[in-house]
């Protein structure tokens, strides 16, 4: 019974970490290296994460700079950034790629908030699926006679409390991200 609850907590912790990563890739007006994490560069025929073909730095609040380890990949890096859904326009001077992160329009901010809200809903569904799986395991333990009906009820209450706690954490992360996006 404790084993099921511990496993559930680990899964829910991983879900929260995944949501934090997802939110880090949604831009919020300021330049940050994580906003490029989802971009894949065609590097010798293999889709490769951008942070594995060069180093990404933030020399100024609205500027990203990428230094490719292999200069022959510069054009592919530039193309991958241009083709991404981030709306960024990189400039390549042969040595480094600079990306000026433009200020967000009100319309774009609202789109990004919707994107964050959609992601948070998907992660809430994951949390609820993990709750369902844990409850199924607990019911199976009760059927097999390993736990009593009272223990099952108590364990299911604990699972629900855990679910509520993580759902609130997702709401809190979303609220923080929305404030970050809407900040001018």
Q: What is the mean pLDDT of residues 159-170?
A: 96
What's the whole-number average pLDDT of the chain? 89
CATH code, 1-27+105-183 = 1.10.132.20
Domain with CATH 3.30.1360.40 in the chain: 33-100
**Per-residue pLDDT, 14:** 95
Element (H, E) at 7: helix 2-24
Mean pLDDT of 107-129: 93
Residue 30: is its pLDDT beyond 80?
no
Q: Note the pLDDT of residue 29.
A: 67
**Which fold does the domain 33-100 belong to in CATH?**
Gyrase A; domain 2 (3.30.1360)
Residue 87, Ramachandran bin (φ over 0: left; ψ between -120 and 50: alpha; else beta): left
Q: What average pLDDT score do residues 17-26 get?
A: 87
C-alpha span between 183 and 105 (Å, rounded): 11
B/e letters for 91-108, b = 16+ CB within 10 Å, e = fewer, are: ebeeebbebebeebeeee
Chain region(s) in the chain for CATH 1.10.132.20: 1-27+105-183
Whose structure tokens read 């293999």? 46
Indicate whether 184 pLDDT > 70: no
pLDDT value of position 132: 96
């Amino acid at each position: 019974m404790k084993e099921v609850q511990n496993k559930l907590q680990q899964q829910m912790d991983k879900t929260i970490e995944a949501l934090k990563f997802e939110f880090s890739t949604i831009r919020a007006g300021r330049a940050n290296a994580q906003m490029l994490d989802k971009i894949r560069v065609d590097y010798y025929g293999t889709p490769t994460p951008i942070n594995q073909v060069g180093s990404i730095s933030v020399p100024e609040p609205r500027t990203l700079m990428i230094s490719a380890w292999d200069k022959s990949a510069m054009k592919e890096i530039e193309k991958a950034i241009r083709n991404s859904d981030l709306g960024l326009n990189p400039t390549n001077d042969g040595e480094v790629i600079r990306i000026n992160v433009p200020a967000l329009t009100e319309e774009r901010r609202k789109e990004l908030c919707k994107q964050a809200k959609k992601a948070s809903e998907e992660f809430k569904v994951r949390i609820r699926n993990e709750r369902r799986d844990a409850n199924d395991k607990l019911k199976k333990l009760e059927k097999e006679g390993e736990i009593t009906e009272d223990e099952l009820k108590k364990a299911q209450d604990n699972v629900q409390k855990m679910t509520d706690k993580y759902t609130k954490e997702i709401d809190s992360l979303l609220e923080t991200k929305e404030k970050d996006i809407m900040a001018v």
